[in-house]
Amino acid sequence: MSKKILTIVGARPQFIKAAAISRAFLDFPDMTEVMVHTGQHFDADMSDIFFDELDIPKPVHSLNVNGGGHGEMTGRMLEKLERVMLDEKPDMVLIYGDTNSTLAGALAAVKLLIPVAHIEAGLRSFNRAMPEEINRVMADHVSTLLFCPTQSAVDNLNAEGITQGVFKVGDVMFDATNFATEKAQGASSILEKLALHEGEYAVSTLHRAENTDTCENLTHVLDWLKDKAKECPVVLPLHPRTRGAAERFGLNFDGLTLCDPVGYLDMAKLLSASKAVYTDSGGLQKEAYFHKKPCVTLRDETEWVETIECGWNRLWKVCDYKERKDIDEYGDGRASHIILKAIEDYLG
């Protein structure tokens, strides 16, 4: 009898990772995936387009939970996810990353005694002021299978007493990037739309609460980006949270090249043709490396420490890059198959 895996997604990075895993499910006929979209990213430009572009199966359940504070959002997700799990009776729940959807999925499952598999387990920024840090720590501590992209992630779990069910598998984002980059070559016209030339611009994203929740912080990071834009154009696909914060604080984006949020294929094209990347996104730091583009992380810490150590990334308040070298830990682009084989073995 086929084993049922309930996949929970809700935000852009999770759609991208889920796309790689969903394609790999085709090679595991004894397991069936049921996709649940919490609705955390509710803007069609931030959500629906990813399902269309990356060949992700349409969600069987769409919960439409978005807006409100962290506690309110997580609580509403928890309530609705519990109902879905009671109806579907999955053999395992699969969660990704560190969003409110991640935490709600983990809590709903563990309370129903359903085993949880966490992709991107063990990542730590060691900044408990970040909601994402709380989400990832709590999810790890209730998960049965923990799939780590790097040895440092394994070490973080071991330091917290988590040693069982831990797998170092490489980075599923590498799988996804390889697929998207090839597909984007013929499918994306974003450079023509924005009148950009290869190698003559930088691409930026800005959305983290630590950068957008106060006028002082948002002013600081926008001033930094505007200064960089004096060297070459800085393209900023504008996240709804950042747009709203700027309007609330009376700030402008003068000197930056703005566009609406872009799909994953357009972003893959923007990255592959860019000169540099400036971002507060965890996932984009790695994607910059996969495209071999120097990155500046617009935060005071990063969970992807190996990108710093290998010279492809730096924190925005630290000036020096180290000598660049390859990051072997991210694997060979088959992390998705390694993950599903481990789940298959666990479920018998």
Which tokens in the block code for residue 245?
Answer: 């914060």
Report residue 9 CA to chain centroid gap: 10
Could you tell me which residues come within 8 angstroms of residue 23 by beta carbon, excluding any fewer than 6 positions away? 55, 179, 336
Which stretches does DSSP call E strand in 181-223? 202-205
Name the percent of the chain in helix, strand, coil, to the closest 5.
Answer: 45, 15, 40
Q: Which residues of 72-110 are buried (b: 16+ CB within 10 A; e: fewer)?
A: ebbbbbbebbbebbeebebbbbbbbbbbbbbbbbbbbbb
Residue 320: other Cβ atoms inside 10 A: 6
Q: Write out the two tokens for 192.
A: 């023509």
Instruction: Name the phi and psi angles at 34, rounded to 5.
Output: -120, 115
How far apart, in whole angstroms, are the C-alpha atoms of residue 339 and residue 118? 10
Residue listed under structure tokens 């950042």: 242
Which one, of 242, 163, 232, 244, lies nearest residue 205 by Cα? 242
Six-digit token string for 179: 């697929």
Tokens of 258: 């703005």
Beta-sheet pairing, 92-96 with 61-62: unpaired
What is the rounded distance in angstroms from the CA atom of residue 218 to the CA atom of residue 247? 11
Of the candidates 327, 245, 301, the one whose C-alpha atom is nearest the C-alpha of residue 132 is 301
- Catalytic residue positions? 207
SS3 5: strand
SS3 182: helix
